[in-house]
Amino acid sequence: MPHMTAFARNQWYVAAFAHEVGRDLLGRTVLGEPVVLYRTETDGTPVALADRCVHRRYPLSASGLDGDRIVCGYHGFTYDTTGACVYVPGQRRVPRTARVAAYPVAEVDSLVWVWIGDPALADPATIPRAPHLDAPGWVTVRGMEPIACDYGLLVDNLLDLSHETYLHGGHIGTPEVAETPITTEVDEGAGTVRVSRHMDDAECPPFYARSTGIDGRIMRWQDIEYHAPCLYLLHSRVAPVGVLPEPDGSDPDAFHTEITYCITPSADGEVYDFWAVSRDWATGDAEVTEFLRSGNHTVVMQDVDALNLLQRTLGTERAGYQELSINIDTGGLAARRILARLVEEGDKPVERVR
């Protein structure tokens, strides 16, 4: 397949929002591996198992729960939360090889993260944080859209916001976004890319004019923080022109909005686009909440349509096509380098303790 970014396996990925995981079995595919997710009855801990019964590979996500155990919907093989099979029909002896993989799981900031690679390397302390997603005082709208594209195309898309002017005009894009140069900072070791664009006198796009009530021109600051491979944060600051943060760092007259994306490769040419918009202003205003939810959903669908189209287009190009990059691509190119390094490091044989 053309233009496919390899998967970094030894990394945490968001498989679901916390609210999606419950007592109904949820099937997702992460890095090409089918996964079934649920919560235990005993203490609500999320569980992630391989979504294929060892017997005839029936999807466990299409099966049922008996307490904390999954009973395969085809012939009844029964699995506990560790993936071990504890019952097979018609015989006492359960074959020793009857087990499905159990993936390390962590629930952090209302996101359910899974680790598909070597379980011995999974350390939940390394999960990048997005505390605004469930901190008190913040209100969040969220959703998930699958896209039929290489996940690298979504990384490119999010690291360059100059496309807002063209693809999202009338929603979040104004001429100043594309016109204002960016600054980029890369921390190769930490695997992070920061891209900033500070517009000090810009048109206020409808997305912010209608939600904040500011009329007139604005200072609009966009500070992206990408934690490769999965978590993308956009710190957005909007204020009337000339209103700066106080010397002590407080910023009472500005509107701060946190835009979060989780980029989870599902399979080759398939990606889950988890999105969220969080705010700590007008938190009691249900109309603002609904406006930001539907407005951001519209914007996300513009990206989804564009990336579906782009992937189909790349699928028809001749081999060896040389793409052209400019300044706005600095962040995206840095992200590609980091992803390539994570893939390479994850593929190195791991020293095992015997």
Q: Summarize as ranges the residues that interact with Fe ion (CB under 5 A).
A: 303
The piece of 21-29, 73-81, 186-194, 289-297 that touches ligand FES (CB under 6 A) is 73-81
User: How many Å is the maximal CA-CA distance in the chain?
Assistant: 77
Residue 125 carries which DSSP code?
G
Question: Is 76 one of the binding residues for ligand FES (CB under 6 A)?
Answer: yes
What CA–CA distance (Å, rounded) separates 228 from 241?
33
Structure tokens, 117: 């690679």
Nearer to Fe ion, 37 or 299 (CB): 299
Residue 252 carries which DSSP code?
T
Q: What x/- string results for residues 29 through 58 when contact with ligand FES is judged by CB under 6 A?
A: ------------------------x-xx-x
The site partner of 339 among ligand FES, Fe ion, none (C-beta below 5 to 8 Å per kind) is: none
Nearer to ligand FES, 75 or 337 (CB): 75
Question: Is 291 one of the binding residues for ligand FES (CB under 6 A)?
Answer: no
Nearer to ligand FES, 70 or 158 (CB): 70
The site partner of 303 among Fe ion, ligand FES, none (C-beta below 5 to 8 Å per kind) is: Fe ion
Q: How far is the CB of 67 from Fe ion (least distance, A)?
A: 44
Residue 79 amino acid letter: Y
Nearer to Fe ion, 176 or 303 (CB): 303
Question: Is 202 one of the binding residues for ligand FES (CB under 6 A)?
Answer: no
DSSP state string for 72-84: -TTT--EE-TTSB
Taking the alpha carbons at both ends of the chain, their separation in whole angstroms is 39
Residues touching ligand FES, count (CB under 6 A): 9
The site partner of 55 among Fe ion, ligand FES, none (C-beta below 5 to 8 Å per kind) is: ligand FES
Separation of CA 281 from chain center? 24
- Give the residue, chosen from 7, 12, 38, 77, that forms a contact with ligand FES under the rule CB under 6 A: 77
Which of 171, 264, 186, 168 shows the shortest CA–CA distance to 225? 186
Nearer to Fe ion, 303 or 329 (CB): 303
270 burial level (CB within 10 Å; 0-12, 13-18, 19+): middle
Structure tokens, 185: 């900072």
- Sign of the dihedral defined by the CA atoms of residues 332, 151, 103, 117, in that order: negative
Binding residues (CB under 6 A) for ligand FES: these are: 53, 55-56, 58, 72, 74-77
